[in-house]
Amino acid sequence: MAGRLRRSWDKHKYAWGMVIPVVLVLGVLVGYPLYRGVFLSFTDANEQNVAATIGALHVPDSFSFVGLRNYVDVLFGPNTKFWSVLGRTVVWTISCVFFHYTIGLALAILLNRQVRGRSIYRVLLILPWAVPAFVSAFAWKLILARDNGIVNHVLGQLGLGTFDWLGNDTLAFVSVIAINIWVGVPFNMVALLGGLQAIPSELYEAAEVDGASPWQRFWHITFPGLRTVSSTIILLGVIWSFNLFAIIFLVTRGGPGDATQILVTYAFSAAFEGIRDYAVAATYGILILGVLLAYATVYRRALRSGGEVW
Amino acid sequence: MSTPRKRGERSPAASTALHAVLLLASFIAVFPVLWVLVISLRPGFAGSSEVHVFEPSSFDNYEYVMAKTKFVSWFGNSISVAFFTTIFGIFLSATAGYALSRFRFPGHRPLMWTFLVTQMFPVAILIVPLYNLMNKLGWVNTHASLVFAYCSVTVPFCTWMLKGYFDAIPAEIDEAGRVDGLTPVGTFWRLILPLARPGVAVTAFYSFLQAWGEVAYATAFITSDDKKTLAVGLQTFVTQFKQEWGFLAAASILITIPAALVFFFAQKHLVAGLTAGGTKG
Distance from CA of A287 to the nearest CA of B (A): 10
State pLDDT tens for residues A176-214. 999 999 999 998 998 888 888 878 888 888 888 888 888
Please name the residue of chain A whose CA is at the shortest distance from the CA of residue B18. Answer: A110
- Could you count the other beta carbons within 10 Å of the beta carbon of residue A210? 9
| Per-residue pLDDT, A209 | 87
**Cα–Cα distances in Å, from B94 out to A184, B113, B145, B153, B155?**
25, 17, 21, 15, 9
Please name the residue of chain B whose CA is at the shortest distance from the CA of residue A297. Answer: B113
CATH of the domain at A228: 1.10.3720.10
Residue B281 has its nearest CB partner, among A138, A186, A232, at A232
Helices (H) and strands (E) in chain A, counts: 15, 2
User: Is the dihedral angle over the CA atoms B146, B152, B154, B159 positive or is it negative?
Assistant: positive
Please name the residue of chain A whose CA is at the shortest distance from the CA of residue B130. Answer: A33
A11 assigned to some structural domain = no
Cβ within 8 Å, pair B122-A197: no
Helices (H) and strands (E) in chain B, counts: 13, 0
Please report which confidence band the pLDDT of residue A65 belongs to, taking 50, 70 and 90 as the band edges: confident
Residue A21 has its nearest CB partner, among B49, B95, B185, at B95
| Per-residue pLDDT, B7 | 52
3-state secondary structure (DSSP) of residue A57: strand
Beta-carbon contacts of residue A193 (< 8 Å; ≥ 6 apart): A108, A111, A112, A122, B271
Distance from CA of B260 to the nearest CA of A (A): 6
A67 assigned to some structural domain = no
Which range marks the domain in which residue A253 is found?
81-273
Q: How far is Cα B109 from Cα B102, in angstroms, rounded to an integer?
A: 13
Q: For chain A, what is the domain count?
A: 1
Cβ within 8 Å, pair B121-A136: no
State pLDDT tens for residues A99-126. 999 999 999 999 888 888 888 898 899 8
Please report which confidence band the pLDDT of residue A15 belongs to, taking 50, 70 and 90 as the band edges: confident
Q: How far is Cα B220 from Cα B25, in angstroms, rounded to an integer?
A: 37
Helix (H) or strand (E) holding A54: strand A52-54
- Which ipTM score applies to this complex? 0.82
- Could you count the other beta carbons within 10 Å of the beta carbon of residue A122? 22
Best mutation site among B202, B229, B271 for testing chain A: the one with the most A CBs within 10 Å?
Answer: B271
What are the residue ranges in chain B where pLDDT is below 50?
1-3, 45-50, 278-281
Q: How far is Cα B188 from Cα B171, in angstroms, rounded to an integer?
A: 11
Q: How far is Cα B124 from Cα B133, in angstroms, rounded to an integer?
A: 15
A70 assigned to some structural domain = no
A36 assigned to some structural domain = no
Closest CA to A50 of A282, A285, A284, A288: A282
Q: Is the pLDDT of residue A278 over 90?
A: no
| Per-residue pLDDT, B239 | 63
Residue A59: strand pairing partners: A52
A8 assigned to some structural domain = no
- If one looks up domain B64-280 in CATH, what number appears? 1.10.3720.10
Mean pLDDT on A284-300: 88
Cβ within 8 Å, pair A229-B279: yes
Please name the residue of chain B whose CA is at the shortest distance from the CA of residue A186. Answer: B29
| Per-residue pLDDT, A88 | 93
3-state secondary structure (DSSP) of residue A53: strand
Q: A211: phi > 0 → left, psi -120 to 50 → alpha, else beta; which?
A: left
Q: Report whether B215 contacts B81 (CB < 8 A).
A: no
Q: How far is Cα B277 from Cα B167, in angstroms, rounded to an integer?
A: 9
Is A207's Cβ below 8 Å from some Cβ in B?
no
Residue A134 has its nearest CB partner, among B107, B213, B245, at B213
